[in-house]
């Protein structure tokens, strides 16, 4: 089977779905690998590195897609800038597309893929089980996003992070508040602590308290009898009353912070607003907010997607694609997730989709011209 890796066409995307080392593993597994000219360049992987491991470099886009049995991408299919055609229009019927489709938000695109006969495995739908951990691209990319978020905030803050005692006087450590203790939040906590900040973490799931404390963070505890964690370990959607009480509790912590990093997402839903404009107004001048959920509506009421703005004296960073800012390692981790998935669903260079397999059942969105994922089917009704 031929695996094709096209260049990413979504603006601002620097990652590539397969790095040369992983391409070599795929070839040894029995696949033939084709890649579009300069597809890996922005991530630090020139064509020569791919050629040296046996990858075929293809310049003709129609040929690239026309021969593909499996297409590996980072981002969802978009209109090709040169051909002015949707990328799924370039794929032949029966192609397996593996990418971050985010079908809970892009369910109409999922329907279009089904209509065209494109079988889709969406990397954001990989089940969060121990077995599938090595395929969990959401976690691998969120890990890097958490790290990068702290560096971006540190760069915009007019202060240093650590306590420093000098002949000129003592500098107090910066205070960082992180909203959400998932993979990104915990990595942000670890990074901020290593830089010397005092870090507080808020999360509606009391189960994460020990993890926060083990990394040196202070857990902002909100007492509730509700279980705010679903079976997959994600935060559940909170009620209006719960969010109101949470905002009242968090107000003091946020308004005293130098940096606030928000990471709260509810799969398939608009991100909950955790930082209101009133909170921003009451923050110290020169403070920084980074809204990691800005792509899905934002946790901060006044953040703007893909913009850095200053409002009420506070710098608000609305970067929607943090992993793309660390494209080399992000591509490396993502392509290993992809390889582990392909290794699981293929044998001797041929993909065989077992519809009863737990990974396939969770992440397969379309198959044989039908939308097969129950949640996406429900959204399309």
Active site residue 234: yes
Among candidate residues 49, 128, 218, 230, the one labeled active-site is: 128
Per residue, the 3-state secondary structure of the chain, as one string, reads: CEEEECCCCCCCCCCCCCCHHHHHHHHHCCCEEEEECCCCHHHCCCHHHHHCCCCEEECCHHHHHHCCCEEECCCCCCECCCCCCEHHHHCCCCCEEEECCCCCCCHHHHHHHHHHCCEEEEHHHCCCCCHHHHHCHHHHHHHHHHHHHHHHHHHHCCCCCCCEEECCEEECCCEEEEECCCHHHHHHHHHHHHCCCEEEEECCCHHHHHHHHHCCCEEECCCCCCCCECCCCCECCCCHHHHHHHHHHHHHHHHCCCEEEECCCCCCCCCCCCECHHHHHCCCCCCEEEECCHHHCCCECCCCCCCEEEECCEEEECCCCHHHHCHHHHHHHHHHHHHHHHHHHEECCEECCCCCCHHHHHHEEEECCEECCHHHHHHHC
Among candidate residues 136, 203, 258, 291, the one labeled active-site is: 136
Active site residue 65: no
Active site residue 346: no
Among candidate residues 29, 86, 139, 229, the one labeled active-site is: 139
Active site residue 354: no
Among candidate residues 230, 234, 357, 375, the one labeled active-site is: 234
Among candidate residues 29, 49, 86, 133, the one labeled active-site is: 133
Active site residue 334: no
Active site residues: 128, 133, 136, 139, 234
């Amino acid at each position: 089977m031929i695996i094709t890796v096209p260049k990413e066409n979504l603006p601002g995307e620097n990652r590539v779905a397969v790095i040369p080392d992983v391409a070599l593993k795929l070839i040894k597994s029995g696949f033939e690998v084709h890649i579009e000219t300069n597809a890996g360049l922005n991530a630090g992987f020139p064509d020569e590195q791919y050629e040296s491991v046996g990858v075929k470099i293809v310049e003709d886009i129609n040929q690239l897609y026309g021969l593909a049995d499996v297409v590996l991408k980072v981002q969802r299919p978009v209109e090709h800038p040169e051909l002015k055609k949707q990328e799924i229009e370039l794929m032949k019927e029966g192609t397996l597309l593996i990418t971050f489709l985010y079908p809970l938000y892009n369910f109409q695109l999922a329907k279009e893929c089904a209509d065209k006969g494109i079988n889709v495995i969406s990397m954001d739908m990989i089940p969060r089980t121990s077995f599938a951990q090595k395929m969990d691209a959401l976690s691998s990319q969120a890990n890097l996003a958490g790290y990068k978020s702290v560096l971006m905030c540190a760069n915009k803050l007019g202060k240093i992070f650590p306590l420093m005692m000098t002949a000129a006087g003592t500098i107090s450590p910066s205070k960082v508040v992180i909203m959400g203790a998932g993979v990104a939040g915990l990595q942000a906590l670890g990074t901020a602590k290593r830089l010397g900040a005092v870090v507080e973490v808020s999360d509606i799931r009391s189960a994460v308290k020990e993890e926060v404390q083990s990394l040196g963070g202070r857990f902002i505890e909100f007492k509730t009898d509700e279980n705010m964690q679903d079976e997959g370990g994600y935060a559940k959607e909170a009620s209006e009353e719960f969010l109101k009480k949470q905002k009242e509790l968090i107000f003091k912590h946020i308004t005293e912070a130098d940096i606030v990093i928000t990471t709260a997402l509810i799969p398939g839903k608009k991100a909950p607003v955790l930082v209101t404009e009133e909170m921003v107004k009451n923050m110290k001048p020169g403070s920084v907010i980074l809204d990691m959920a800005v792509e899905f509506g934002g946790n901060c009421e006044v953040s703007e997607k893909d913009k850095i703005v200053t409002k009420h004296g506070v710098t608000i960073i609305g970067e929607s694609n943090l992993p793309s800012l660390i494209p080399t390692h992000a591509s490396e981790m993502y392509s290993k997730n992809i390889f582990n998935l392909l290794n699981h669903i293929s044998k001797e260079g041929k993909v065989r989709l077992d519809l009863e397999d737990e990974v396939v059942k969770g992440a397969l969105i379309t198959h044989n011209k039908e939308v097969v994922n129950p949640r996406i089917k429900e959204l399309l009704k």
